[in-house]
Amino acid sequence: MGTFDILFYHFFNHFKLKKNKKANSIATFYVSFLQCSLLLLLGVFFAKFFRKMHMDTMSADKAWTLFVLVVIFIFFKNWMYYGGRKRKVLNVKMIKNKKLTYNIYMLWFLPVVILALTLVLLQAV
């Protein structure tokens, strides 16, 4: 079980008590948003790195198009992955483990920090 599965399960259990019908959607959105923000950070890092190395690999328009396509793929993959049976398997696996004690506000703050780092890196020369 990976890090994103653990984060999904934690979000799912947190919002299952408050918003029963939307818990799966919120947890899936969070995991997808976190993965997309990490992808954006890596993309900006490598774009800046390749520019400093004077490598012409891909134009900016093609890179943004590729990023949008990958984001759509990530949302679709997570929607399928955490849709039904996988969530039930995660519930069984996580019941055996002890209770997670992540602060939900810190977890929501994590993608914001990643996006802030991306903006700083994007502004760097």
Give the pLDDT confidence of 74-84 residue by residue, as tens digits: 999 998 888 87
State the pLDDT at residue 113: 95
- Mean pLDDT estimate for the chain: 85
Alpha-helix runs per DSSP H in 1-125: 3-18, 23-52, 60-81, 85-96, 104-123
- Please provide residue 38's backbone torsions phi and psi, each rounded to the nearest 5 degrees: -65, -40
Give the pLDDT confidence of 69-115 residue by residue, as tens digits: 999 999 999 988 888 777 677 777 766 666 667 788 888 899 999 99
Determine if residue 54 is left, alpha or beta; phi over 0 gives left, psi from -120 to 50 gives alpha, anything else beta: left
Q: How many residues does the chain have?
A: 125
d(Cα 65, Cα 62) in Å, to the nearest integer? 5
Determine if residue 98 is left, alpha or beta; phi over 0 gives left, psi from -120 to 50 gives alpha, anything else beta: beta
